[in-house]
Structure 1
Amino acid sequence: MRIVVLDGYTLNPGDNPWDAVAALGELTVHDRTPREAIRERAAGAHMVLTNKTPLDADTIAALPDLAYIGVLATGYDVVDIRAAAARSIPVCNVPGYGTEAVAQHVFAFLLELCRRIARHDASVKVGNWSANKDWCFWETTQIELTGKTMGIVGFGNMGKRVGQIANAFGMKVLAYSPNTRTMPGYEPFSYVSLDELFARSDVVTLHCPLSDATRGMVNRVRLASMKQGAILINTARGPLLDEAAVAAALNDNHLGGLGVDVVAVEPIRPDNPLLTAKNCLITPHMAWATLTARQTLMRVTADNIRAFLAGAPTNVVNAPKA
């Protein structure tokens, strides 16, 4: 079986070998694939693995040998899963590999926004502590998390893990999920409506998928409903935010801080309004990328292929409904 990886560099920039996948077929790995080269590189492949390189309906139709699509991520919106299903091609993702990494990144954002460690480290190193008349100083208001309310939009495995950590910090946790009625209770978390969550939370963190219903969900109206000085964190998908509206809320001090690991267009464009917004932390879509998480992703990718070859594919996102 011929296996082609279209964009493998982020999974293995040199520290996470493809050995487990290479053992399962004739493997070709491309670090990156421009759109115009997708069909040429995937031609003749029985299995195509992709992270962000799109496989649309026309591309899938142009690959007669294709029998399996592996997504090197949890989200699979880069693949036309209906077109694949029409050809009986399973699309298999890797759920849960980055839960711990992303949850910890959320709190890296939150702690930095509340305590501004990097700013004070820099201040000390340019001599401001040495020249200070007192034995301590701070340049920003220092905020404790204990007693604050965190609102979590999307309460799957990722959202629950963030909630557990928030609870350990002594925070109250509000959760919103469209599937609330079918989910068991998770004390001490409270399920509320989306509007109530935004209105009551001191911190809102997004862990929902991108869909027609969620695109631009954090807009001018929703931002206005938030508490003065509330913090917003997005490690899910960039287009969940109306970035111009969010930047405006930061610049007029209604929104107290923002941490984003994702933006609407990636890599970020030089004219993105968040780049010049006040109290905004931006990381380059790296929350998922701990070595431990990437090793798990590689292992499960190989497991998915092995299961497909055995005739019992797992983690199939386009399986026919019973």
Structure 2
Amino acid sequence: MTRILAAGDHFVLNDLLTDAIGREVTGHSVSYSELTLPWPVVPFGRIAEVDEASGTEDELIEALQGVEVCVTQMAPLTEKVLKACPDLKLFCISRGGPVNANIEAATRHGVAVTSAPGRNAAATAEHTLGMMLAAMRRIPQTNADLTAGTWRGDYYMYGNVGPELEGSTVGLVGYGAIGSRVARMLQGFGATVLVYDPYVTDEALAGRARKVEFDELLARSAVISLHARVTPETTGMIGAEQIAAMQPGSIIINCARGALLDYDALCDALDSGHLFGAAFDVFPQEPIPAGSRLLTTPNIVMTPHLAGASKATAQKAARIVAEDVRRYLNGEPLAHCANPEALMSAGTV
């Protein structure tokens, strides 16, 4: 009998996790226990040495006693948790990367950590297109005026209207699972797509976009959308100098990570009129603190870090981790493991 803890939350529900595992592990004897974490009702944050986690170490330790497999989205896998839970062997995180796990400590303790890459790629790509259109056509602002009882005819003035996607050049910074989907969607709008991604190949672009250097992308794009991971090289990659190099009247979209962009420099460019607009789903501090310039700078469209939030995302996330639970129980290599050496050294797979 393999004991499995489903440590879900209010998005990736425990029922989704256990139902998905049940469909995958037929023929194996398993038992379930459950822990419900407070995210997203309570924002995630740093817990001990891991980021973007929910709940507490102590409640997770209590729930993991005697448990061999944990499936979760936000539970914190820390050194303290690992030391207190010697039966744990597999920790499956149902999100794009295992940011809420101490991978080095997990490896030392013989715990394999998996994730669910691509789970929210379609949802985030669709949201990105929605944010582009909202910023270009000022949809939220005009809706707010109408619901307040004001008909703003001046929005139709030539100097106030925005560009179209058809015939525009859109620059994508990053061409992974999300960026490539955005490029495919932009083709349908008739946009020209440029890509800056040092790792992408011409074959991967598949004729949908053209690879260019960063400076060319900045200079030629009417819209720039960020889809890069946060690394030492990409942190702060769009700052005052890069924004100044963009076309007057252009637009920045960020549905990736707040650390990619200097938001203060962005607000300066909107206040000066150098940029037409911007749209953000991610921020340097979440929730946005009171007094932030983002709350008062004009022509910004914002959503609260929910670009990847769809029912399909939650269902895919549960299915992807359940498939790795099945592989683990069958003694097969894990598909999305951050530290396969953890189980190999323990002689499990």
Which TM class, normalised by the smaller chain length? Answer: 0.7 to 0.9
8 Å contact 1:217–1:241 — kept in the other structure? yes
Q: Say if 2:66 is the partner of 1:60.
A: no
Q: Say if 2:125 is the partner of 1:103.
A: yes
Scaled by the length of structure 1, the TM-score of the pair is: 0.86
Structure 1 residues 128-157: Cα deviation after superposition (integer angstroms, max 9, x where no partner): 66x98xxx9736414211111111111112
Provide the rounded CA distance (Å) in 1 between the counterparts of 2:203 and 2:99: 25
| CA RMSD in angstroms, aligned pairs only | 2.8
Provide the rounded CA distance (Å) in 2 between the counterparts of 1:2 and 1:217: 45
- 1:170 Cα deviation after fit: 0.9
Q: Structure 1: which amino acid aligns with 2:13? A: N
Check 1:153–1:25 CA distance in 2 against 1; reply closer, same or farther (3 A cut): farther
Residue 5 (structure 2) aligns with: 4
SS at match of 1:174: strand
**Larger mean Cα displacement after TM superposition, 43-52 or 222-231:** 43-52
Residue 146 (structure 1) aligns with: 166
SS at match of 1:25: strand
Structure 1 residues 167-189: Cα deviation after superposition (integer angstroms, max 9, x where no partner): 11111111122213585442141
8 Å contact 2:252–2:278 — kept in the other structure? yes
Q: Say if 2:316 is the partner of 1:296.
A: yes
Q: Structure 2: which amino acid aligns with 1:258? A: A
Provide the rounded CA distance (Å) in 2 between the counterparts of 1:141 and 1:314: 48
8 Å contact 2:166–2:190 — kept in the other structure? yes
Scaled by the length of structure 2, the TM-score of the pair is: 0.80
SS at match of 1:274: helix
Q: Structure 2: which amino acid aligns with 1:105? A: H
Check 1:176–1:311 CA distance in 2 against 1; reply closer, same or farther (3 A cut): same
Check 1:49–1:217 CA distance in 2 against 1; reply closer, same or farther (3 A cut): farther
Provide the rounded CA distance (Å) in 1 between the counterparts of 2:149 and 2:188: 36
Structure 1 residues 193-236: Cα deviation after superposition (integer angstroms, max 9, x where no partner): 22322222111111111222222222222222221121111111
Check 1:262–1:22 CA distance in 2 against 1; reply closer, same or farther (3 A cut): farther
Q: Percent identity?
A: 32
Provide the rounded CA distance (Å) in 1 between the counterparts of 2:166 and 2:207: 17
2:336 aligned residue (303, 308, 315):
315
8 Å contact 1:206–1:236 — kept in the other structure? yes
Provide the rounded CA distance (Å) in 2 between the counterparts of 1:257 and 1:284: 18
Residue 212 (structure 2) aligns with: 192
Provide structure 1 residue ranges, at least 5 long, that are not aligned to the other structure.
none
Provide structure 2 residue ranges, at least 5 long, that are not aligned to the other structure.
24-29, 39-53, 343-349
SS at match of 1:114: helix
Q: Which runs of 4+ in 1 moved over 6 A?
A: none
Provide the rounded CA distance (Å) in 1 between the counterparts of 2:210 and 2:166: 17
